Amino acid sequence: MATEERKQEILENLKNAVIEYDEDTAREWAQIALDEGLKANDAIFDGLVTGMEEVGRLFEEEEYFVPELLMCADALYAGLDILRPHVEQLDLGVRGSVVIGTVEGDVHDIGKNIVKMMFDVAGFTVYDLGRDVPLDKFVEEQLRTDSDLVCLSAMMTTTMSGMEKVIHDLKEKNPDCIIMIGGAPASQDIADKWGADGYAADASNALKDAIDMVSSLKRLKQEAEAE
Question: What is the total count of domains within the chain?
Answer: 2
Task: Clarify whether residues 221 and 120 are in a common domain.
Answer: yes
Residue 131 in any domain: the answer is yes
Mean pLDDT of 87-95: 71
pLDDT in tens, 95-154: 789 999 999 998 888 888 888 887 887 788 999 999 999 999 999 999 999 999 999 998
Query: What long-range pairs does 108-112 form, CB within 8 A, spacing at least 24?
Result: 108/69, 108/153, 108/154, 108/155, 108/156, 108/183, 109/153, 110/52, 110/69, 110/73, 110/76, 111/56, 111/153, 111/155, 111/182, 111/183, 111/203, 112/151, 112/153, 112/182
> What is the maximal distance between C-alpha atoms in the chain?
59
Q: Residue 215: pLDDT band by 50, 70, 90 thresholds? A: confident
Residue 91 in any domain: the answer is no
Given this model, what pLDDT does residue 93 score?
67
End residue of a domain, out of 58, 86, 114: 86
* CATH number of the domain within which 129 lies: 3.40.50.280
Q: Residue 92: pLDDT band by 50, 70, 90 thresholds? A: low
Given this model, what pLDDT does residue 138 score?
97
Task: Clarify whether residues 72 and 156 are in a common domain.
Answer: no
pLDDT in tens, 33-88: 999 999 998 998 889 988 988 887 888 788 988 788 889 989 998 998 999 889 88
End residue of a domain, out of 32, 61, 86: 86
Q: Is 135:145 a contact under the CB 8 Å cutoff?
A: no
Task: Clarify whether residues 26 and 106 are in a common domain.
Answer: no
Mean pLDDT of 169-183: 91
End residue of a domain, out of 62, 86, 110: 86
Task: Clarify whether residues 136 and 199 are in a common domain.
Answer: yes
pLDDT in tens, 182-202: 887 889 999 999 999 989 877
Residue 92 in any domain: the answer is no
126 three-state secondary structure: strand
Domain assignment of residue 59, given as a range: 4-86
